[in-house]
Amino acid sequence: MTPRTLLPDLQAYADVKAHAASLKQASLERLFEEDNSRAERFTAEAAGLHFDYSKHLLTKHALASLLKLASQAGMPESIGDLFSGKSVNNTEDRPALHTLLRASSNEEHAEKFKHVIATRDRMQIIAQKLNRGEHTGYSGAVITDVVNIGIGGSDLGPRLVTSALKPFQGEVRCHYVANADPADLQNTLLHLNPASTLFIICSKSFRTEETLANSLEARAWMLTAGAKTEELEKHFLAITTNLQAAEDFGIPSGHCLPLWDWVGGRYSVWSAIGLSCAIALGWERFAELLAGAESMDQHFKTSAPSANMPLLMSLLELWYCNFLGAKNHVVLPYDHSLERLPNFLQQLTMESNGKRVSADGQPLDYTTGPVLWGSTGTLGQHSFHQLLHQGQLLCPVDFVLPLTTYTGMAQQHLNLVANCLAQSRTLMVGRSLQAAKDTLVQRGLDNKKAEELAPHLVMPGNRPSSVITMKSLNPTTLGALLALYEHRTFCSAQLWQINPFDQWGVELGKEISVGIAQKLQDADVTNTMDGATERLIQRWKNAQT
Ligand code: F6P
């Protein structure tokens, strides 16, 4: 099959390509000099977030051609299809209606919305009961700790929200166990008391190996501690689309909250999968999280393309990934509470858009889903920022910066802000050879030594970054931020003509691991594998004796 090329038939494609060719060599600083409205022009505002994308290799004409490309690629229709419940997940023949989960009202999908509201009500009751100290366990002790057992989308979103909103944390503590490695569960349970612990098993499919294994161990831990089988229900809740499997596991339907196949795992924190967040933060805060996301949904659905924040971010992604050669994207939150944001975004963007065929099954000859990586500032500054400033890779950066702090330590926060703004500016301005030489001479080096060393201090600059700011990080702005990246991911998928809502690529490894587990137990000696795998299996066996 001939590989598909990127939107070449669209008239705007040639314009975008031409702009990219001329801007590749452009100087960001010169672009600022040439247009004094630039800092203002290249910004967007939505749902409490401010997006500054002025430090990008972009002109108003280049942006106009990108917007035209999006329009010719059918972006307005695609956005309409997402909200109207069309089968945008075409390979699984389903809509992707995560926006419904945070809607405050909806008539278009009345039947589905009825179930959303009923589930939300149940979540509220459960969260409030726990927060009032009215949920007791097998011994009559009040539940003080909740352990969320889940992985991927059934873990990353709730884990991020709970840790990002620590200043809003209530009485009940929430913990997260995800890994197949038993050490994860063991380390978590070490400091918990079974009598006052509640497990929430989150699994859309209720078939995920890691989650089921950890849940079985959790049940054994409870039984060992003295809970009777008939008392276990006081300590287990399940969130799943597969209510039957949860019941078979021993969780009665009254202790199960539903999820629906029209919610992708990585888009599910807004559903009952987010129950642990609602418990940790309290119901009001969780409702604010939903409201923040809903307000971003409204912006995405209704604002003009030129002001549409998720669309603009996606066009930048396309611009760098497919026209300027960047194969990665860096997210640097300058807020310690957001340390889990890069992990969350990795699943969101790479599981969604790491695809090699178009939505209709044609192989693609262009890059999709750039590698997303990053960590909190200022930690990254003492680690990988060297590469950002002087490495050979083009790494477009998103800085995420709340402008105020809950810590009360204003001066220290001011320094954090200064570091963030300095990093964004440094990426742009760099340091010339002459400036490097001057710096070295000022430091006391003679001219000859300064000449020798100067190339090592040169920073080419001209490296692009966006800065996303918000007055403070709170449930509302966090909700908006996560919804922003969700919609950016969707827009990019439309431009790349791929389906962002399936993840067939994760299956084969799981299947092969079943075969290997059998071989490790000598249960299937007929299943011969490649020489390297066979040797590693043998090494494992040798290590057991
Ligand atoms: O293996 C990938 C995946 O299917 C993710 O898409 C999903 O978020 C995760 O596993 C967990 O799946 P489940 O919620 O069904 O346990």
Could you tell me if 324 and 24 are in contact, meaning their C-beta atoms sit under 8 angstroms apart? yes
- CB of 503 sitting under 6 A from ligand 1: yes
| DSSP bridge partners of 177 | 149
> Token match 């399940």: residue?
238
Q: Kindly report the CA angle at 161 between 159 and 162, in degrees rounded to 5?
A: 65
169 and 88 within one domain: no
Q: Is residue 2 part of a domain?
A: no
Q: Which of 382, 448, 507, 511 is catalytic?
A: 382
Report CA(204)–ligand 1 centroid distance (Å). Answer: 7
Type and span of the H or E element at 542: helix 531-543
What is the best residue among 205, 240, 513 to mutate for testing ligand 1's pocket, by most ligand atoms within 8 Å of CB? 205
Whether residues 338 and 240 share a domain: the answer is no
Q: Is the residue at 57 inside a domain? A: yes
Tell the residue nearest (CA) to atom 9 of ligand 1: 152
Give 29's Cβ-side CA count (13 Å radius).
11
The answer to whether residues 102 and 213 belong to one domain is: yes
Confirm whether 351 is a catalytic residue. Answer: yes
Tell me the sheet residues that pair with 330.
373, 397
Q: Is the CB of 211 under 6 A from ligand 1?
A: yes
For the domain that residue 144 is a member of, what is the CATH number?
3.40.50.10490
214 C-beta closer than 6 A to ligand 1: no
Q: Which atom of ligand 1 is nearest to the CA of 205?
A: 15
Q: Is residue 487 part of a domain?
A: yes
- Note whether 267 and 335 are same-domain residues: no
Per DSSP bridges, beta strands 49-55 and 465-470 are antiparallel
Residue 335 phi, psi dihedral angles, 5° rounding: -165, 120
pTM of the model: 0.97
**Given this model, what pLDDT does residue 1 score?**
75
Q: Which two tokens stand for residue 365?
A: 């000859």
Alpha carbon of residue 22 to chain centroid: 33
pLDDT the model gives residue 208: 96
Residues 357 and 252 in one domain: no
Residue 255, in any domain of the structure: yes
- Residue 528: the pLDDT is 87
Q: Are 53 and 120 part of one and the same domain?
A: no
For the record, the structure tokens of 436 come out as: 């490097």
List phi, psi (to 5°) of 315.
-65, -35
Neighbours of 412 (CB within 10 A): 10
Whether 231 and 252 have beta carbons less than 8 Å apart is answered as no
Extract the tokens encoding 408.
């009360």
Q: Is the CB of 241 under 6 A from ligand 1?
A: no
240 lines ligand 1 (CB under 6 A): no
Q: Assign 3-class secondary structure to 440-498.
A: HHHCCCCHHHHHHHHHHHCECCCCCEEEEEECCCCHHHHHHHHHHHHHHHHHHHHHHCC
Looking at residue 10, what is its pLDDT?
86
Q: Same domain, yes or no, for 156 and 210?
A: yes
Domain with 518, as residue range(s), is 506-543
How far apart are the CA of 208 and the centre of ligand 1, in A?
7
Instruction: List, in order, residues 6 or more apart from 162 with CB less than 8 Å away.
Output: 169, 174, 176, 276, 277, 280, 281
For the chain, how many structural domains are there in total?
3
Q: How far apart are CA 178 and CA 158, in angstroms?
A: 12
Reduced to 3 states (helix: H, G, I; strand: E, B; else coil), residue 145 is: strand
> Among this protein's residues, is 228 annotated catalytic?
no
Ligand 1 atom nearest the C-alpha of 273 is 14
The edge-to-edge listing of strands for the beta sheet with 197-202 is: 173-177, 145-149, 197-202, 236-240, 256-258
**Pair (175, 248) in one structural domain:** yes
Residue 210 CA: nearest ligand 1 atom is 16
> So what's the pLDDT on residue 524?
75
**Is residue 353 domain-resident?**
yes
> Is 195 found in the same domain as 132?
yes
Does the beta carbon of 310 lie inside 6 Å of ligand 1?
Answer: no
Tell me if residue 33 is catalytic: no
Is residue 204 domain-shared with residue 149, that is, in the same domain? yes
Same domain, 261 and 353: no
Residue 265 Cβ contacting ligand 1 at under 6 Å: yes
Give the CA distances from residue 91 to residues 88, 454, 468, in Å, rounded to whole numbers and listed in that order: 9, 55, 34
pLDDT score of 75: 97
Residue from 150, 148, 155, 235 nearest 200 by CA: 148
Do both 395 and 259 map to the same domain? Answer: no
In terms of Cβ atoms closer than 10 Å to its own Cβ (0-12, 13-18, 19+), residue 408 is exposed
pLDDT (tens, 9 = 90+) of the chain, 545 residues, equals 788 888 878 899 999 999 999 999 999 999 999 998 999 999 999 999 999 999 999 999 999 999 999 999 999 999 999 999 999 999 999 999 999 999 999 999 999 999 999 999 999 999 999 999 999 999 999 999 999 999 999 999 999 999 999 999 999 999 999 999 999 999 999 999 999 999 999 999 999 999 999 999 999 999 999 999 999 999 999 999 999 999 999 999 999 999 999 999 999 999 999 999 999 999 999 999 999 999 999 999 999 999 999 999 999 999 999 999 999 999 999 999 999 999 999 999 999 999 999 999 999 999 999 999 999 999 999 999 999 999 999 999 999 999 999 999 999 999 999 999 999 999 999 999 999 999 999 999 999 999 999 999 999 999 999 999 999 999 999 999 999 999 999 999 999 999 999 999 999 999 999 999 999 998 777 888 999 999 999 999 999 98
* CA dihedral for 145, 149, 152, 153, sign (positive or negative): negative
Distance 269 CA to ligand 1 centre (A): 13
Residue 545 exposed, middle or buried by CB count within 10 Å (0-12, 13-18, 19+): exposed
351, 385, 413, 486: the catalytic one is 351
